[in-house]
Amino acid sequence: MSLYDRLVQAYDKQLSHSGVDGVRVARRLSELSKIGITDENGVNRVGFSVEEQKAKSLVSRWMMEAGLHVTEDGAGNVFGKLVGDDERLAAVLSGSHVDSVPNGGHFDGPLGVISALEVVEAWKANGFQPKRSYEVVIFSDEEGARFNGGLTGSRAMMGEIDPEKQRLLKDKDGLSFNEVINKVGLKEEDFFQAKRTIEEIHAFIEVHIEQGKTLEKMDQSVGIVNGIAGPCWLEIIYKGVAGHAGNTPMNDRKDALVAASEFIASVPHLTIVNETCVATVGKIEVSPNGVNVIPGEVTLYVDIRDIYEESRDHLVELVIDCARKIAIAHELVVTIEEKLRIKPVPINTDIINKAGKSLADLNLRPLQLPSGAGHDAMIVGKELPVGMLFVRSKDGISHNPKEWSNLNDCIEGIHALKGLIEQLVNE
């Protein structure tokens, strides 16, 4: 069964109103899903690939058919502009991305782009003309699957790209960044000129699948993001003494893995700092890693996140203190290195309130929830007002062919986006 057939089979057609057409949305999601489709019915559209370029071209055609003026910047970001009544006013932007992780799903990214475009289609059907200009945006390489980076297009637009570091990147095939972007018609010198003047932008709004189970548990189709968590990554190395597993008495060991295991088990209990805090040990390396050898060294990585910087940083301190205390107790050496620290992004209060009104107009609770994952809105939100709406995800599955949001929920999300955008463009 095609994605289109799956989407429309349980669709409530009464949700197609005010110019929003659920069948059109289903058809567009389905057409995008065919670009880079895998044997597992997932999708491969990594950043700066021919597949990502084809997806951008398809959406660009839809933009032009909707009457938008379409442009592409040096980073490959695509903008479809509907000129407002007062061109002197800063524009409202909405969109997401169309690239994917390898064998990813069909909603992460594309739903945000198609939702933003559907607002224009609805306005076109109703003869609505915004006061401010409105732009539908497709950001390049959000997932970062090619260069293990991500959010590339939004970082380029906001002037966050370091040219020296970017030029040094190579993909898994050994191709340089310049070689990769040349294959899709982009030039390095233009890429580093993609920064936009922030005064041109009034706000950015992104619709995205939740990638979690909160909305599903609350039995609600759409929610309002109240903050985007900022990650801090720690590399922790426990150094003990490797030895023979049979000849070393239990009371004469310096087992790095035993200490690391105690630490890993302790981390979840430290997150009581704040109910929105999370911490995960997601990667571990053991040396010598032999069946009959006492582990002499363990390297592990901790991912610590919260939407509030103060509580996130407090949790980081607790994790570091815990790691050191366990090392002392086991008579081991521990080294701790911070690999990454990104500020959490609070969502503009006024936009949260406007989103709440939009949901209330649809008889939906203005339910607020945090985003634990990074999004293009996180990059834009460092300097500009941003907002996000989450659409319910089945079982919270993401980055996987089983990723699914039913069409009813997607269309509810588009109506909520439309109501929010209409408030912003008429300010």
Count of other CB atoms within 10 angstroms of residue 136: 29
Torsion sign over Cα 304, 306, 310, 314: negative
330 is in an annotated binding site: no
Residue type, 323: A
Cα 227 from Cα 210, distance rounded (Å): 13
Contacts of 290 (CB under 8 A, 6+ apart): none
The 10 Å Cβ neighbour count of residue 65 is 11
Q: Is residue 106 annotated as involved in ligand binding?
A: no
Q: Residue 14's Cα: distance from chain center in Å?
A: 31
The two beta strands, 78-82 and 69-72, are antiparallel
Is 305 within 8 Å of 231 (Cβ atoms)? yes
Q: In residues, how long is the chain?
A: 427
DSSP 31-94: HHHTTTB-TTS-B---TTSHHHHHHHHHHHHHHHHTTPEEEE-TT--EEEEE--S-TTSPEEEE
Known binding residue 108? Answer is: yes
Query: Which of helix, strand or coil describes residue 20?
Result: coil
Strands 333-341 and 230-239: antiparallel
- Amino acid identity of 99? D
Binding positions: 97, 108, 143, 208, 399
Q: Which residues are annotated as a binding site for Zn(2+)?
A: 97, 108, 143, 208, 399
